[in-house]
C-alpha cells in the first residue's frame, strides 16, 4: 500500500480556523456502508441514526493547555514549547523547535518569568526539561498555558484574549475529566450536555480514556505505509465500561466509537473475559486497509488530513473508494474540515 494512495486535494478555505458559533451546530455527513449511500444532514439529527440502541464509546481525556511561550534565559530569544508527558515529578517530555541548539542546563523562562525550567537532554525527537522550583506544572499551565491547537489552526500573539479563551472552552469536550492529552478527541467536540442527555433514549454512552499524544499526528513518511510506527499512548478502560462492552459483544449489539482515539483503544484489547479492575495499557495500534475490526461496528468522526493515519483508519472501516467519494462530496458541498470542522457518521 502506497502513501500516495491516501492523498487528496483540499482547498485551504475549507480548513476550519474556529469552531461553529454554537457547539453542536455542525453539519453531519452520514455514510451507510450497507447501501453505499451518502446523506447530508445536521449534527443535531444524530439520534435519528442510532438504531437498535448501540453502545457509544466516548474518550473522556482532558486537554492540558500545555503550550508555553517564553525565552531562553532572562534576555534570550523567544521560544515556544509543547509539554507532552510528565516523566517524573517536575520532569517533562516536550516538543521543541531547533532541538539540536539546546544544551543541558540551559535556562528557560515562561509565564513572563514566573515559571523557570532547564533543558536536561534530548530524547529522540523530544526534549527533556526540568522545573526545579515548581513541580506543580499543571497548576501553572492552567494559569497561563495555551491550548495546543493543531498546526493548521493559525493563531498569533496578536489574537485577542477572547480568541484564546474560546479555544480553551471549545477545544475541550463537555465531558472531559481525565487530564493528560495534548490534543482533543475532536469527534466529541460536537456534543452538548443536552445532546448527551438525549442520547440515553437511543444509545448507551460509556467512557474510556486515551491521552492523545504526538503519535496521533505523526506524519507517515515512508511510501510503504506498513513501515510506519505509531508512538505509544496511554489508555484506561474502567470496569463499568468494560462490562457494558463485553455484554454488547455477547449480545451482538452494535458498538459505535466516538472518534478515532476511541476506536484505537477498542481495537487494542480482547473483549473476551470479565475484569475485576480497570484495563490499562499503552497502545501503538496503527489501523490501515486490509485489517479487520473486531470490536467496532460504527464510527463518528471528523474529516481528516490527507495521508494521515486517521484518514487511513476511516478508509479501513468504510473502504478507500467509498471514503474518497464521501470526501469529494464533502469538498463540493464545502464542509468544514479537521478539528474545528464538521462530522461524519460511518454506519
SS (H, E, C) 315-347: HHHHCHHHHHHHHHHHHHCCCCECCCCCEEEEC
Q: Are strands 55-59 and 204-210 parallel, antiparallel or unpaired?
A: parallel
**160 domain-assigned:** no
E strands present in 172-306: 178-181, 204-210, 233-237, 255-258, 279-283, 298-302
Q: Where are the alpha helices (DSSP H) in 71-160?
A: 137-144
Query: Do residues 175 and 250 share a domain?
Result: yes
Q: Are 47 and 78 in a shared domain?
A: no
In angstroms, the CA 181 to CA 190 distance is 18
The reply to whether 18 falls in a domain is yes
Among residues 145, 161, 182, the one where a domain terminates is 145
pTM comes to: 0.93
Among residues 58, 54, 18, 57, which one has the least CA distance to residue 177? Answer: 58
Q: Note whether 21 and 111 are same-domain residues.
A: no
pLDDT of residue 158: 66
Q: What is the pLDDT of residue 157?
A: 64
Per-residue DSSP letter, 218: P
* Sign of the dihedral defined by the CA atoms of residues 130, 133, 136, 138, in that order: negative
Exposure b/e, 56-87, CB count within 10 A at least 16 = b: bbbbbbbbbbbbbebbbeeeeeebebbbbbbe
First to last CA, the chain: 25
In this structure, the answer to whether residues 176 and 134 fall within a common structural domain is no
Are 9 and 123 contained in the same domain? Answer: no
- Domain assignment present for residue 133? The answer is yes
Name the domain boundary from 111, 145, 179. 145
HSE-up of 182 (CA within 13 Å, CB side)? Answer: 23
Q: 114 and 257 share a domain?
A: no
Is 157 a member of any domain? no
In the Cβ-directed half-sphere of 261, how many Cα atoms lie within 13 Å? 31
What pLDDT sits at residue 225?
96
Tell me: do 190 and 270 sit in the same domain.
yes
Cα dist from 154 to 19, 150, 199, whole Å: 13, 8, 34
Q: How far is CA 132 from CA 66, 92, 115, 116, 181, in A?
A: 18, 11, 10, 8, 23
Domain stops at, among 96, 111, 145: 145
pLDDT value of position 135 = 67
Dist CA 210 CA 88 (whole Å): 20
Q: How many domains does the chain have?
A: 2
Is 331 among the domain residues?
yes
> Is 244 among the domain residues?
yes
Helix (H, G, I), strand (E, B) or coil at 107: strand
- Pair 28, 141 in one domain: no
> 296 and 235: one domain?
yes
Q: Give the residue among 4, 119, 103, 15 at the shortest CA–CA distance from 70.
A: 119
Distances (CA, A) of 314 to 14, 29, 192, 291, 323: 19, 13, 24, 12, 7
Helix (H) or strand (E) holding 72: strand 67-72
* Cα gap 337→17, rounded to integer Å: 9
Domain co-membership, 77 together with 132: yes
* Residues whose CB falls within 8 Å of the CB of residue 156, separated by 6 or more in sequence, listed in order: none
Q: What is the CATH number of the domain that holds 250?
A: 3.40.1780.10
Is position 161 within any domain?
no
Residues 183 and 318 in one domain: yes
Q: What angle do CA 328, 218, 128 make, to 5 degrees?
A: 155
Looking at the domain assignment, is residue 152 inside a domain?
A: no
Please, which residues bridge with residue 332 across strands? none
Residues of the chain with pLDDT under 50: none
Rounded Cα gap, residues 38 and 329, in angstroms: 9
144: its cell numbers? 497561563
Instruction: Look at residue 65 in the predicted model and tell me its pLDDT.
Output: 94
Question: What CATH number should be reported for the domain holding residue 95?
Answer: 2.40.10.240
pLDDT at residue 155, as a whole number? 82
Boundaries of domain holding 336 = 3-63+170-346
- pLDDT (0 to 100) of residue 124: 84
Q: What is the pLDDT of residue 336?
A: 97
- Domain check: are 190 and 252 in the same one? yes
Report the distance separating Cα 98 and Cα 40, nearest Å: 44
Amino acid at each position: 500500500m502506497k502513501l500516495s494512495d491516501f492523498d487528496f486535494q483540499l482547498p485551504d478555505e475549507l480548513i476550519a480556523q474556529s469552531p461553529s458559533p454554537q457547539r453542536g451546530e455542525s453539519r453531519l455527513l452520514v455514510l451507510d456502508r450497507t447501501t453505499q449511500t451518502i446523506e447530508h444532514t445536521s449534527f443535531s439529527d444524530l439520534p435519528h441514526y442510532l438504531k437498535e440502541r448501540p453502545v457509544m464509546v466516548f474518550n473522556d481525556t482532558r486537554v492540558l493547555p500545555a503550550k508555553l511561550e517564553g525565552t531562553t534565559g532572562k534576555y534570550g530569544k523567544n521560544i515556544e514549547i509543547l509539554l507532552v508527558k510528565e516523566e517524573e515529578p517536575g520532569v517533562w517530555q516536550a516538543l521543541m523547535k531547533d532541538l539540536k541548539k539546546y544544551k543541558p542546563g540551559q535556562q528557560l523562562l515562561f509565564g513572563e518569568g514566573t515559571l523557570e525550567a532547564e533543558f536536561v537532554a534530548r530524547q529522540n525527537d523530544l526534549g527533556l526539561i526540568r522545573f526545579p522550583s515548581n513541580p506543580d506544572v499543571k497548576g501553572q499551565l492552567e494559569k497561563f498555558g495555551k491550548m495546543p491547537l493543531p498546526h493548521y489552526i493559525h493563531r498569533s500573539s496578536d489574537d485577542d484574549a477572547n480568541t484564546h479563551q474560546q479555544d480553551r472552552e471549545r477545544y475541550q469536550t463537555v465531558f472531559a475529566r481525565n487530564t493528560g492529552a495534548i490534543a482533543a478527541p475532536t469527534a466529541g467536540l460536537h456534543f452538548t450536555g443536552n445532546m448527551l442527555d438525549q442520547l440515553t433514549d437511543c444509545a448507551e454512552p460509556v467512557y474510556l480514556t486515551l491521552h492523545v499524544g504526538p503519535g496521533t499526528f505523526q506524519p507517515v513518511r515512508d511510501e510503504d505505509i506498513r513501515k510506519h510506527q505509531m508512538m505509544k499512548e496511554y489508555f484506561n478502560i474502567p470496569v463499568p465500561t468494560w462490562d457494558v462492552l463485553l455484554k454488547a459483544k455477547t449480545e451482538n449489539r452494535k458498538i459505535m466509537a466516538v472518534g478515532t482515539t476511541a476506536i484505537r483503544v477498542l481495537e487494542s484489547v480482547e473483549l473476551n473475559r470479565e475484569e475485576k479492575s480497570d484495563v490499562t495499557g499503552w497502545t501503538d495500534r496503527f489501523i490501515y486497509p486490509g485489517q479487520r475490526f473486531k470490536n467496532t461496528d460504527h464510527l463518528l468522526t471528523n474529516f481528516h488530513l490527507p495521508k494521515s493515519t486517521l484518514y487511513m483508519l476511516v478508509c479501513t472501516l468504510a473502504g478507500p473508494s467509498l471514503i474518497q467519494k464521501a470526501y469529494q462530496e464533502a469538498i463540493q458541498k464545502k464542509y468544514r474540515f479537521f478539528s474545528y470542522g464538521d462530522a461524519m457518521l460511518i454506519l
